[in-house]
Structure formats: C-alpha cells, structure tokens
Amino acid sequence: MASALPTSAHEASAHGTPRAPEAPRASPVLGAARALAGLLSVALLAVLLLPVGLLAALWLLAGNVFVRRARTGGPAPAPLPVRDTSAASILVLNWNGRAFLERLMPSLQAAVEAHGGAHQVIVIDNGSTDASVAWLRAHWPHVEVVRHERNEKFVRGYNKALGAATRDVLVLLNNDMVVDRGFLGPLLDALARHPRAFAAAARIEMADPARRGIETGRTAGRWSGGMFKLAHLPVAADGDAPWPCLWPGGGACAVDRRAFVARGGFEALFDPYYFGDTSLGYQAWRRGEFVLLVPEAVVEHVHRGSSSRVRPFALERVLRRNAHLFAWRSFDDWRMTLAATLLLPLTGARVALRGGFARAARAAAVEAAAVASALARLPAAAAARARTRRHAVRSDREALALAHSRHRTTRALGVRPAADRPLRLLMLLARVPRRDADGSFVQFDLLRRLGERHHVTVCALAEDAAMARRADDLAPHVARIETLLLTREPARCDLLRRDPAGFRRDYSDARIRARLAELLASEAFDVVQVDYIEMAYALEGLLDGLASVHVVHEPLGSAAWPGAGSRLRALHERARALLMERRLLRPFARIVCMTTADAAMLRACHPELRPVVITNGIDVGRHAPCPPSAAPTLLFVGSYAHPPNADAAEFAAREVLPRVRARVPQARLLLAGADPHGRLAALHACPGVEQLGFVADLAAVARDAGAVLAPLRAGGGMRSKVLEALAWAKPVVGTPLAFTGVAGRSGEHYLAADGAEALAEACVRVLCDAELRARLGRAGRALVEAEHDARAMAAAYEAVYRDLVAEVPR
C-alpha cells in the first residue's frame, strides 16, 4: 500500500505477518542452534503469556459484570440520519506517493465527471517530502489539500482532516488505487437504497496478476484456536442481493460522514495503523447497522508502497498488537473472550512457529513485544468494549452471522422478491437425483419443474465419481449443479456418542461442511431447501436465521433400528436418533412431510414441530402406460441398501411367493435394484426368485410383468416406485404401508393386503384375472394423472416458498 503507513487498505491486505526476507544459507550446526533457540524462545513465550492471558480475561470479564448486557432480539434500530447521497467528500491519504497520485488522479477525475455529482476531492498529505503537494497544486488546482506537518500515519491522518469534509458521504481512498470510471455511482446508490447501511465497500482487483485474490473487498473473519483470522473471500457480481462484508476496507469505501465523525473517526486504540477499519465495520454491525460490498464499484490496487519503508519488526509488532486489541475490544461474548485471552500461550506459539523453528526466535520476540504493547492499552480496550455493550443491539454471534451471510443480510434489510419475480432457490441434497435409477426421480422431476420457473442452484452429495457424473442429466434443467464427493473422513468429535455412528462417519467431513458454508454465505438465494436428514446433519449450526425448508423423506421414528438381537439396544439407538432429529430440525423455518402419517409421526416424536404435507408427484407424461401382461410374474423394485427394502424382498421371496406358487406354479418374483452389500444373495436359492440387479430401463422389465409387488413392512415416506408403477398402468399389490400417501382406494386403484397369506391371495387374484389387471391398470394411471402430477407438487412447494419469503424474520 502506499498511503500513510500502511493505511488500512490494508489493514486488509496484511492479515498475516508480513513475510521476512529470505535468510542466507547457514551451516547445519548453525541451523540446529537456531532451531534450538527458536524452540526455547517459543517455550519461554508460552510461559510468559499465561499470566498475561489470565489478567486480560479477568479484566474483561469483570467489565462484563458491571456493564448492562447487550440488548439482543429487541426492536429494529432507528435508521441512520437521512443523508444526501448525490455527492461525496472524497478523501485520499498520501505520504510521499506522488508516483501513485499520478495514476490515481486522472482515473478519479474521470469517475467524478462520469457521475456528475458536486463532489469534493481532498488529498490529505502526511508531511510528504517528495513534492506531492506542489505537484497537486500545479496539475490539480481544484483539488483541496489538507497538509499535516508530519506523518500522522493512518488513524490520526484521517481523523485530523475530517473537519474539511462537508458532504454527507465520505469516500476513503488509498493513493495507490486506480478507480473505475463507474466507481462512484454504485457506492452512493447502495447507501441510498439501504438507509441502515453505515458503509459500502468497493470490489478490489489487484494489478499484479500473481497477487489476484489477496484482496477482493469481501472481507470476513473466523475464530481458529483462539485467533480471529481475517480474510478476503471471492466475489462475483451476480444477482441483485446485497453482499455483506465484515468491514469496509479503508482503501476504497464510502461511509456515513456524520455517523463516522460522531463516533470519533477511526479509534485511537489502533493508532497508527492496522485494524482501525476492521473495528469500525464490526462495531457498525453490533449497532444494528450494515456494511455492504458493492461488486459494481471496482478499484484496482496498484501497489503496496508505504509498508515497505517501515522496519519489518515494527510493522509486525503493530500488526500483532492490534490483532490482540481488536479481539479484546470487540468480542464481549464470554466464550470468545476466554478464547482470545486464556489461549494466548497457544496462539503465541502458533504465530511464532509459522516460519519454522529456525525463525521462531525472532517471531517470538515480535509476539512478546506485541502482547506487552497490547497489555499497556488493555484499559483503553476495556473502556471501548464497555461503550459498545451499552449501545449494541446485536450479539457477537448475531453480528458475525449477518456479516458472513448474503441471505441473512438481504432478509434483515427487508429486501423481498416481488410476487411475480422468479425465486432463487438453493437446493442441498444428500444424494444426486437421478431420472430413472431409483426413487430420487421424484426429486429430479420436482427440480426440473421448479427450474422452468425459478433460478435453481443444486448441491448434492455423491457416493463416488460415477454417481457425481449422473448429475449431468439434471444440469440442463437448473441454473447450476454442483456435487461434493463423500470421503467418509469424520471431523466431528462425539465423545458422548450422542449421534449414530454412521452419521459421524459419513456426513461430518470438514471440507464438505466448509463448501456448504460458503454456498450459504455467497449464494444469492431466497430460500434454501435441505433434503434428507443426512444433509441436515452436515449443515448443523449453519442454518439459524435462514429462510430454510427441510423435506423429511423418512422420519427417524419410523425407521427400523436392528439391535443385533437386543431389543434394549434397538430402543436405545432409536431414542438417540430421535434426539438428534429434534436437534437438527429445530432451525428450519418450514418442515415438509410427504404423507399425513409421517407428519403425525413427527408431531408425536417432536410436538414443537408443525410440518406441512406435500404428497409426491411424478412427470406422468414421461411414463408411458404399458399394455396388460398375462405373464405370471411379480416385479419388486427397490434399492436394497435401504433396510426396509431388503426386508420386503426377503419377506416376498420366503413367505409370499411360496404361497402364490402353491396356486400358480409358474409364478416368478423379479427383484430389480442394486444390492451393494450382497445382503440378498441367499435368495437365489428360493424357487422362482430371480435377481436382476441394477436395471437401466425399468419400463421394459415392467412391460412383461403381470403385476408389481410392494410388500413393505417398515419405514416411512412415500413410495415413489408405487407411483411409477401406477403411471405404467400396471396393477399394484402391496401392504397398506406401501400405499401411504397415495390418493386412492384398495380394490379400485390397487390391491392392499396385510400379512403373507393375504398378500399371496391378492397376487393370485391379479395374476389369474385379466379383467381385474386391466381395470386396476387404467384406474391407477388415471389416479396418478389427477392427483400426483409433478406440476401440482412443484406448485405446492412454490406456495411454501412464497409464504416463507414474505415472512418478516424475527
């Protein structure tokens, strides 16, 4: 950067310790000595930081006791004063940066002329000795110059010049920027559209291609091992939803002048530079205000010049000191306070060891000097923290959640999609929907229909690369689809074993969770829908406050829990799963079940939930009716990795089919569907049973079958394969459970029977009565056309979405 040492811009581009110069090669003995010295230095640093962290924790937590707790969840804060956004006071901070001004000023003049507002351009000169002021007066006489006699650095440099600004909006610029011609309009328009926005930040592009992405303007932060790490995240100009950012980069942003001045400008706590703008933005979030990124306002960051003129040790010391002060001053949540103080020995050791043992001694010295300097400012940090608690309307967790979520910010700002505007839907699925392979074709049809009217983004988990490639079938029907491979590398610690082991093993991968978090933060969606409890598990803790819908495919209360012969263990597993289900479903704004039975089961297990029922539908036109067949063949279709399907297959092969063959000796049972664990291998020995495995064209198999059998005895949800068989105009025989949610009647649209004997009797009736087969086939087809069409299903989901986006968030 090249303004006033190292101006906050950054404050943003230096989130980590500046890289030290490469050391000359040393002998192995000298290298070993340095490593030993580094190790001893780190150990000494950790010992010294232990009492410092304890003292800081006691001081800060004691302050919490005597200051009124922050008001959270209260009424919406009053808007900032009405401001005139037609023009701005543009402040450029400069220190010996004439070469940079020669690039900036022409681009700034072009931007001012393009916008047309009565802008005020002020260059704040920090005692430059390179004739910057003389050059400005000679070539840019209309530009105002506020000259400081000496280098006041970043904080004091800006604060001492605020009195010269007269417009309601301040635009702060580094002198090593080049602004786009259309830079000003979007910034000012953002503040005009959103009266509760304190600041608007520009999108930053690095002039050096090798450094692209170091700064973007989409600022963020996260806790990691006691350290609050800052970062710049990718940004794209997509959609009209506002982009939040944690702080407005002081090198290219617009702020409300009166609010900025009333708060004293940049905090003296962070003098001379680093973290001043970070604290300013974060405190705005705590006050109930917003900090927005404007991707259409583009600046190019040419260079970082000023920081290279400061001794590295001093620069690193100030950076680390202010990192500690920012955490102590900003976060009054007791857990964050303890992390920022009691973990000082750990964080100090981590920082010191970043460059390896050979450089650890120097890094430890920097960290020790930084903490000592921060400790001297602890009383001032505690006083500023107390002031924040008096006026805060958001907790730390609420502020951080808003600042990192485009969706939450959009809703909190009151931005609602028009009733006729297509919705932006983010669909998160625990498996890839497939057109013809399994029951997920219902999801496929739903997404296809929704994609005709809305902007649909799909992210699905895939078992392997082959499964991921099957997403290509859905790609033409949605705006975007992404698959995440399951790696089965558990990241979640569960010492109390509160969750089933399979969930921890398969759905707690940290990389998958990080990608899902990024999608939730950056995607400009109106509603997020989560299908399957497994995906809800992967998303735990990420959904609070979102306009979210969860689709229950099978309540865990209806699932079979084999207990290895022990009923007590099965009951324990079921109870554990139900507790997990309640925990995972609570954050959702809407719960959708596929059948009234599932909704009743969910309410019985979790009375606080209020699910709505949307029955499954299919694309009837894609399932051509099959002619009746006289073949004495029963077809059962299912994925046998699902325990209820495996149980049904064994029940049909061992108990139902023998009774049918006693009356119809030629009767056969075809089992179609993948059996990945080989659990049905023993059924080969059953007379009349034929296992087909995975079948690519089920319609061709169904065409030659006399009837479709659905002998399910366990599980929940709605059986899409039953709907598919009805759409083929095939007679369907099954247990009452198999027809749960189907809007028909036994004897008219299908035959339902309970128990092996009754099922066998129904199968014999169908196989031996051609007129019954034809009548059931016609009635079943008509039922699906009238009651279970995918268009009606999509319309029902859309009604849920519209109701949700119209809701004012609490």
User: Once rounded to an integer, what is the mean pLDDT over residues 364-386?
Assistant: 94
The H-or-E segment that residue 122 falls in is strand 120-126
- C-alpha 278/C-alpha 650 separation (Å) is 64
DSSP state of 770: H
Helix (H, G, I), strand (E, B) or coil at 175: coil
Q: Is residue 803 part of a domain?
A: no
For residue 24, name the pLDDT band (cuts at 50, 70, 90): low
For residue 745, name the pLDDT band (cuts at 50, 70, 90): very high
pLDDT at 69 over 80: no
Q: Is residue 41 part of a domain?
A: no
Q: Strand 424-429 vs strand 455-462: parallel, antiparallel, or unpaired?
A: parallel
| pLDDT confidence of residue 83 | 94
User: Once rounded to an integer, what is the mean pLDDT over residues 719-733?
Assistant: 89
Same domain, 435 and 375: no
- Token pair for residue 560? 């079979």
Q: Is residue 802 part of a domain?
A: no
User: Once rounded to an integer, what is the mean pLDDT over residues 44-72?
Assistant: 82
The residues, ordered by sequence, that sit 6+ positions from 533 with a Cβ below 8 Å of its Cβ are 430, 552, 553, 556, 581, 584
Q: Can you give the CATH number for the domain in which 691 is found?
A: 3.40.50.2000
Please choose, from the candidates 123, 114, 140, the residue with its C-alpha nearest in 3D space to the C-alpha of residue 297. 114
How confident is the model over 443-458, as pLDDT tens digits? 999 999 999 999 999 9
- C-alpha 3/C-alpha 132 separation (Å) is 12
How confident is the model over 636-690, as pLDDT tens digits? 988 887 888 888 999 999 999 999 999 999 999 999 888 766 778 888 788 999 8
- Token pair for residue 424? 């932006």
| pLDDT confidence of residue 536 | 95
For residue 3, name the pLDDT band (cuts at 50, 70, 90): very low
Instruction: Kindly report the length of the chain.
Output: 810
Q: Is residue 134 part of a domain?
A: yes
Q: Is residue 693 part of a domain?
A: yes
- C-alpha 671/C-alpha 673 separation (Å) is 7
Same domain, 422 and 346: no
Q: Strand 219-224 vs strand 120-126: parallel, antiparallel, or unpaired?
A: unpaired
For residue 524, name the pLDDT band (cuts at 50, 70, 90): confident
- Whether 13 and 304 have beta carbons less than 8 Å apart is answered as yes
How confident is the model over 223-252, as pLDDT tens digits? 988 899 999 998 876 767 889 999 998 889
pLDDT at 724 over 60: yes
- If one compares 305 and 553, the residue with the highest pLDDT of the two is 553
User: Once rounded to an integer, what is the mean pLDDT over residues 783-796?
Assistant: 92
pLDDT at 2 over 50: no
Same domain, 375 and 468: no
pLDDT at 208 over 60: yes
For residue 74, name the pLDDT band (cuts at 50, 70, 90): very low
pLDDT at 260 over 90: yes
| pLDDT confidence of residue 25 | 57
Other C-beta atoms within 10 Å of 58: how many? 11
At 337, the amino acid letter reads T
Please choose, from the candidates 672, 550, 566, 561, the residue with its C-alpha nearest in 3D space to the C-alpha of residue 602. 550
Bridge partner list, 91: 122, 172
| pLDDT confidence of residue 9 | 38
Using CA of residue 458, residue 464, residue 466, residue 467, what is the dihedral sign? negative
Q: Point out the domain boundary residue: 559, 591, 613.
A: 613
Q: Is residue 503 part of a domain?
A: yes
Bridge partner list, 461: 484
Using CA of residue 507, residue 511, residue 517, residue 523, what is the dihedral sign? negative
Please choose, from the candidates 434, 431, 443, 429, the residue with its C-alpha nearest in 3D space to the C-alpha of residue 694. 434
Residue that has been written with the tokens 């079943």 in this structure? 780
- Residue spans of alpha helices (H) in 488-605: 501-507, 510-522, 533-538, 567-585, 596-605
Helix (H, G, I), strand (E, B) or coil at 204: strand
Query: φ and ψ at 639, to 5 degrees?
Result: -90, 115
| pLDDT confidence of residue 337 | 94
> Which of 45-49, 496-500, 593-597, 643-647 is least confident?
496-500
DSSP state of 549: E
| pLDDT confidence of residue 387 | 83
Same domain, 716 and 760: yes
At 365, the amino acid letter reads A
Q: Can you give the CATH number for the domain in which 191 is found?
A: 3.90.550.10
Same domain, 400 and 534: no
| pLDDT confidence of residue 187 | 96
Range list of β-strands (E), 673-762: 689-693, 707-710, 732-734, 751-752
| pLDDT confidence of residue 8 | 42
- C-alpha 516/C-alpha 598 separation (Å) is 28
The H-or-E segment that residue 231 falls in is strand 227-232
User: Once rounded to an integer, what is the mean pLDDT over residues 622-627?
Assistant: 87
Domain that includes residue 98, residue range: 8-18+50-407
Other C-beta atoms within 10 Å of 633: how many? 22
| pLDDT confidence of residue 78 | 59
Torsion of CA 633, 639, 644, 649, to 10 degrees: 30
What proportion of the chain, given as a percentage, has pLDDT over 70? Answer: 90
pTM to 2 decimal places: 0.81
Q: Point out the domain boundary residue: 554, 588, 613.
A: 613
Bridge partner list, 171: 90, 254
- If one compares 28 and 231, the residue with the highest pLDDT of the two is 231
- C-alpha 92/C-alpha 101 separation (Å) is 9
What proportion of the chain, given as a percentage, has pLDDT over 90? Answer: 59
Same domain, 381 and 500: no
Same domain, 572 and 705: no
Helix (H, G, I), strand (E, B) or coil at 540: coil
- C-alpha 580/C-alpha 385 separation (Å) is 37
Same domain, 746 and 763: yes
Bridge partner list, 404: none
The residues, ordered by sequence, that sit 6+ positions from 344 with a Cβ below 8 Å of its Cβ are 49, 50, 52, 53, 56, 226, 371
Rg (CA), the chain: 33
Same domain, 389 and 424: no
| pLDDT confidence of residue 223 | 92
How confident is the model over 351-374, as pLDDT tens digits? 999 888 888 899 999 999 999 999
Q: In the chain, how many domains are there? A: 3
- If one compares 438 and 501, the residue with the highest pLDDT of the two is 501
| pLDDT confidence of residue 347 | 93
Q: Strand 590-593 vs strand 612-613: parallel, antiparallel, or unpaired?
A: parallel
User: Once rounded to an integer, what is the mean pLDDT over residues 716-723?
Assistant: 79
- Token pair for residue 317? 């010391």
| pLDDT confidence of residue 303 | 57
Residue that has been written with the tokens 């051509």 in this structure? 624
For residue 517, name the pLDDT band (cuts at 50, 70, 90): very high
> Which of 92-96, 416-420, 778-782 is least confident?
416-420
- C-alpha 602/C-alpha 608 separation (Å) is 10
Helix axes 276-286, 396-403, angle to 10 degrees: 110
Identify the burial level of 96 via C-beta atoms within 10 angstroms of its C-beta, where 0-12 means exposed, 13-18 middle and 19 or more buried: buried
The residues, ordered by sequence, that sit 6+ positions from 526 with a Cβ below 8 Å of its Cβ are 407, 417, 423, 424, 425, 547, 801, 805
Q: Is residue 25 part of a domain?
A: no
Helix (H, G, I), strand (E, B) or coil at 475: helix
Helix (H, G, I), strand (E, B) or coil at 642: coil
- Residue spans of alpha helices (H) in 77-183: 98-115, 132-139, 155-159
Same domain, 572 and 644: no
For residue 15, name the pLDDT band (cuts at 50, 70, 90): very low
Same domain, 250 and 333: yes
Q: Is residue 45 part of a domain?
A: no
Same domain, 579 and 630: no
> Which of 48-62, 235-249, 522-536, 596-610 is least confident?
235-249
Q: Point out the domain boundary residue: 407, 433, 455.
A: 407
Report the alpha-carbon angle 322-324-328, nearest 5. 110
